[in-house]
Structure 1
């Protein structure tokens, strides 16, 4: 599939796809005219890359982890340490988001109650 098709199927911009390729997170074959062509597996890879970016991972970390992410396959110890560190970071981030949500919820409820009483 061409880069525009991949962008449409994944919601990633063409610019982002070029960036992913430049960073070694995605690969393509080039046609005789130089156009990028991607296999079907590129869709799931781009979706995973986008998921990792949304979780706050940086491109260097994503690029290092991607070659080791395969179902049922063991990771080398250094990759396992990196994955574990990312899990801890995400857990801490989720806890912080939950606390922020709880605070906002309390503010909304207090404001709504005050408005009802006025």
Structure 2
């Protein structure tokens, strides 16, 4: 068993994040007689999974729906549908990022000199308004 500070260090997240995960029902701790939180060894991997799911854009509500199925290793029909939808969303996000990277590469390759974009204005200059005396 480890205390909250140990879990924080080992999982690479703040103590505040761990408390938030508990509030959301994503992480559970045993309490000592003095009220200190104690976590089992598998909590490190659970926190890392939670971090990955957040990083992939899942909400705490969706994560809370999925974790019992992860724990039981038996996804329900609903959770399987949710997992597939999230996987498909992530795949689209990856494709968008690849397209953006490819576009940036094309710009880099097409530039004549490293300073070519320093003096480039993306829009034509606006002509000065004529003033009448």
Shared fold per TM-score greater than 0.5: yes
Deviation of 1:70 (Å)? 4.5
Q: In the alignment, which residue of structure 1 is the partner of 2:32?
A: 31
Question: Structure 2: how far apart are the matches of 1:2 and 1:100?
Answer: 43
TM-score, normalised via structure 1 length: 0.90
What secondary structure sits across from 2:74 in the alignment? Answer: coil
Question: Structure 1: how far apart are the matches of 2:3 and 2:110?
Answer: 53
What secondary structure sits across from 2:113 in the alignment? Answer: helix
Change (3 A) 1:37 1:70: closer
Segments of structure 2 that go 5 or more residues without pairing to the other structure are 117-133
Superposed CA offset, 1:52-103 (max 9, x none): 11111111101110110148x3311111111111111011111111101111
Question: Structure 1: how far apart are the matches of 2:97 and 2:38?
Answer: 39
1:63-102 aligned within 5 A: 63-70=64-71, 73-102=73-102
Provide the aligned length of Structure 1 versus Structure 2: 114
Question: RMSD of aligned C-alpha atoms?
Answer: 1.6
TM-score, normalised via structure 2 length: 0.81
Question: Structure 2: how far apart are the matches of 1:4 and 1:45?
Answer: 16
Q: 1:115 aligns with which of 76, 90, 113?
A: 113
1:37-56 aligned within 5 A: 37-56=38-57
What secondary structure sits across from 1:37 in the alignment? Answer: strand
Deviation of 1:105 (Å)? 1.4
